[in-house]
Amino acid sequence: MKIAVIGTGYVGLVTGVALSEVGHTVTCIDVDPEKVEKLSHGIPTIYEPGLEELIKKNIGQGRLFFTSEHRTGLKEASVIYIAVGTPQRKDGSANLDYVEHAALDIAANIDRDTIIVIKSTVPVGTNFHIKNLINKNTKNGIRVKIASNPEFLREGSAVKDTFHGDRIVIGSEDRETADVLAEVNKPFEMPIIKTDISSAEMIKYASNAFLATKISFINEIANICESLGANVEEVAKGMGLDHRIGPDFLKAGIGYGGSCFPKDTNALVQLAGNANHEFNLLKSVIEVNNKQQILLLDKIMTRFGDISGKRVAVLGLAFKPNTDDLRESPALVMIPKLAALGANVIAYDPIAVSNAKRQLGTEIEYTEDLHSALNNADFTVIITDWPDVKKIGLTVFNKLMKTAIVFDGRNCFDLSDVRQSEIEYYSVGRPDQAPELIY
């Protein structure tokens, strides 16, 4: 089937590449000619494991194309995916400007009746708004059907999730549209849930809100564990073995970040308010997460009192491993606060340094070498649990740092190993490991 995808961000690019991989002919459209040029030569514009290989493979096999010309990209397309960003407005609601612009571009350039699939995360009611917008602006009697097909991809494993996900949700107005999209997605061999459009739109928000709630819940438990001398990892293990709860998203740390959870939880609170419902539970989830992102700062100041002039190694800039995305990363909160308190920050990340420089500026040091970051540091703060951070031998902290003091926001190390080392160690929801420490 001939398919067009508007937008080449995380969702659009991965969607387009995956659809070409299962046999469809796909043209990805983006208004940025520079991005299109790179992608046309097989150079990905985002970091995502496995993506570059699939782009090059499907370009080579003549199934994947990129263009900045809507008329070219939409020509004879049977299905058109809208996969543009819906960033957060100041009031927490989703900004639909990009979706509406995509709709008007579709209306001006389609040459046949077609199915429009909204892949972007949008508030309930958006699909019908976009359908009406397109139908009002098309010419020659062309009409479109609309459908919601929300994505459930995790950055850093988006390719894997596309081919090995839990379900595909299709919200449509009629059975015929749902059947066409089920056929499009059949090669992915996943359970397909067919529902009405409003329910499909809500499934996306409800899913992300629930996962965010689990994260904030276990972080609250972690904070209580610290006060009572319990170990949150043991607590989470005992909870997760209950099949009604499950172990996923019960890992304590310094909060969630990224492009989805913060934006979608705020948007759902706003959406609920528009429906005259006060979503108090989700407001608490957001409040807990905001506080959790600076948890380590409280620990640092309790330990030192004054960090002016101290050299601090910050390990990790991206909001999670295997991505260069810094959106809502705790690093964006922690690093400015450390610098404002007079610390000399050197930040390490294997792939996100260039993005960080654009957001954090050049007043701090950056490195892509883990050992360089640790060298002569007064203390270390772990923000992102990159594999090379988790695998580092604890003796390296002793060898390289001025004082081997580690504040671990991701609980990267087993406490039994820490006890056998000589490092001073503070983590989340677990007993501090600071033998013979004199304040």
pLDDT of the residue at 139: 84
Residue 84 has pLDDT above 50, yes or no: yes
Active-site entry in 28, 225, 260, 412:
260
Contact present, 395 and 421 (Cβ < 8 Å): yes
pLDDT of 333 over the 60 cut = yes
H-helix or E-strand spanning residue 193:
strand 192-195
Same fold, 2-195 and 204-289: no
CATH superfamily for 2-195 is NAD(P)-binding Rossmann-like Domain (3.40.50.720)
Kindly tell me the burial class for residue 439, based on how many C-beta atoms sit within 10 Å of its own C-beta (0-12, 13-18, 19 or more): exposed
Q: Give residue 436's pLDDT band: very low, low, confident or very high (50, 70, 90).
A: low
Q: Tell me the average pLDDT across 419-433.
A: 95
CA–centroid distance for 123 within its chain:
18
Q: Indicate whether 438 pLDDT > 90.
A: no
Q: Please report the pLDDT score of residue 77 as a whole number.
A: 96
Residue range 134-183, pLDDT digits in tens? 999 998 889 999 999 999 999 889 999 999 999 999 999 999 999 999 99
Convert the pLDDT of each residue in 234-279 to its tens digit.
Answer: 999 999 999 999 999 999 999 999 889 999 999 999 999 999 999 9
Quick one: pLDDT at residue 435? Answer: 63
What ranges do the domains of the chain cover? 2-195, 204-289, 293-426
412 is an active site residue: no
pLDDT for 140:
82
In this prediction, residue 439 has a pLDDT band, given cuts at 50, 70 and 90, of very low
Topology at the third CATH level for domain 293-426: Rossmann fold (3.40.50)
CATH code of 204-289, in short, is: 1.10.1040.10
What are the residues whose beta carbons fall under 8 Å from the beta carbon of 118, sequence distance 6 or more? Answer: 81, 82, 99, 126, 127, 130, 146, 147, 148, 149
